[in-house]
């Protein structure tokens, strides 16, 4: 995203929440954040918990976003927004959170009667779904599906999002419009979308899955040959150091005990010299830091749990082989995942263009496993 695209996205995001723009400069933007935006990108969780518990008045947060780092005026406290900025990622997450599902109405002045009589115009309910079909193995390929399902007269169309971008949509139903009843439930519409996804997957070339399984078989054969050669090189009667140590510990009790060594004379330890405690001012005057003084005098060190080395044991070759085989299967095993991106319920007066649709069908056998996320 370029700087102008970042600014357009931020302005649309703020306009969605009716944010108050304090100053709109060509190089920066000063805005007073609403409550929803402040909670998502303001980074003030303790402040909001305090306000909610004490039932206090909200003090809006004012931020300045700059889109050109070399054009920020001197003395202006601005935050540079770009695609990789942390604040920009928070804005993306907030937009995804609040815009995952919405309800919009078409507002078409051309559909209103030109005469003085007020006649109501019907709006047809449509369910829009944006899906991502991922073909996964050691490689990846994504297929984007923008489906629209008519809930009044059941039918399904593709590329529904491009059609919606051409329409004037509003979150409130316009005057002289009314909505038609839904003859198809949302659950039935989702089932119809699943059948369409299966039909799209069935028409794809599944050579990629067969090639992935062939690569998986080759990698598993190489791994099996490696561990067979490793087992052949290791003599069967050889014992590891751990096994030898265990064998030494299990010796017969009749073995002669070691000769005790004469006790050495203990030298009395010197009494520790107690130094006079320094005050904070003396510690600071000697060049010490306040944080080190607090750690040495006031802050207690949390004791760490001792690690029991007896619970640790070396993995056997069979366990290591099984673990590496599972990793290869996770990497090369072909699979299909369907992710729901976002969707919405749209009441439209216009009709999407009718395209040639294929009959929806289920696919009982595929060379790849699939799941819907």
pLDDT by 10s per residue, the chain, length 373: 788 899 999 999 999 898 999 999 999 999 999 999 999 999 999 999 998 888 888 888 999 999 998 888 888 899 999 998 999 999 999 998 888 888 999 987 655 555 555 678 899 999 999 999 999 999 999 999 999 999 999 899 999 999 999 999 988 898 888 999 999 999 999 999 999 999 999 999 999 999 999 999 999 999 999 999 988 887 665 545 545 545 555 554 555 555 556 555 555 555 554 455 666 666 666 666 666 666 666 655 555 555 565 666 777 888 899 999 999 999 999 999 999 999 999 999 988 887 654 444 444 455 666 655 5
Query: Is residue 29 within 8 Å of residue 21, measured between CB atoms?
Result: yes
| Alpha-carbon separation of residue 210 from 221, 264, 289 (angstroms) | 17, 76, 65
| Alpha-carbon separation of residue 158 from 155, 164, 183 (angstroms) | 11, 12, 20
Please report how many Cα atoms fall inside a 13 Å half-sphere around the Cα of residue 199, on the Cβ side. Answer: 14
Single pTM value for the model:
0.63
What residues contact 159, with CB distance under 8 A and at least 6 apart? Answer: 146, 355
């Amino acid at each position: 995203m370029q700087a102008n695209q970042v600014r357009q996205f931020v302005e649309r995001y703020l306009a969605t929440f009716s944010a108050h723009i304090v100053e709109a400069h060509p190089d920066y933007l000063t805005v007073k954040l609403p409550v929803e935006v402040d909670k998502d990108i303001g980074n003030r969780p303790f402040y909001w918990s305090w306000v909610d518990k004490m039932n206090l008045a909200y003090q809006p947060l004012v931020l300045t976003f700059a889109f050109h780092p070399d054009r920020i005026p001197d003395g202006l406290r601005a935050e540079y927004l770009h695609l990789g900025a942390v604040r920009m990622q928070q804005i993306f997450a907030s937009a995804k959170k609040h815009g995952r599902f919405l309800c919009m109405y078409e507002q078409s002045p051309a559909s209103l009667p030109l005469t003085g009589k007020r006649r109501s115009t019907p709006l047809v309910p449509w369910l829009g779904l944006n899906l991502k079909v991922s073909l996964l193995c050691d490689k990846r390929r994504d297929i984007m599906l923008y489906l629209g399902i008519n809930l009044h007269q059941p039918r399904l169309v593709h590329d529904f999002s491009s059609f919606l971008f051409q329409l004037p949509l509003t979150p409130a139903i316009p005057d002289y419009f009314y909505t038609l009843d839904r003859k198809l439930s949302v659950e039935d519409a989702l089932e119809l979308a699943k059948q369409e996804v299966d039909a799209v997957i069935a028409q794809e070339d599944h050579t990629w899955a067969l090639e992935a399984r062939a690569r998986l078989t080759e990698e598993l054969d190489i791994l099996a040959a490696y561990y067979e050669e490793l087992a052949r090189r290791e003599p069967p009667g050889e014992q590891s150091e751990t096994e030898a140590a265990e064998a030494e510990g299990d010796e017969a009790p009749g073995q002669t005990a070691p000769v005790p060594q004469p006790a050495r004379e203990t030298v009395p330890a010197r009494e520790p010299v107690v130094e006079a405690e320094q005050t904070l001012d003396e510690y600071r005057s000697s060049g010490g830091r306040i944080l080190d003084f607090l750690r040495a005098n006031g802050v207690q060190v949390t004791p760490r749990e001792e690690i029991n080395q007896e619970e640790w044991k070396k993995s056997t070759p069979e366990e290591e082989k099984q673990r590496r085989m599972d990793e290869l299967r996770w990497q090369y095993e072909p699979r299909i995942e369907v992710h729901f991106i976002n969707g919405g319920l749209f009441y439209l007066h216009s009709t999407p263009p009718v395209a040639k649709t294929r009959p929806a069908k289920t696919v009982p056998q595929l060379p790849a496993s699939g799941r819907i996320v």
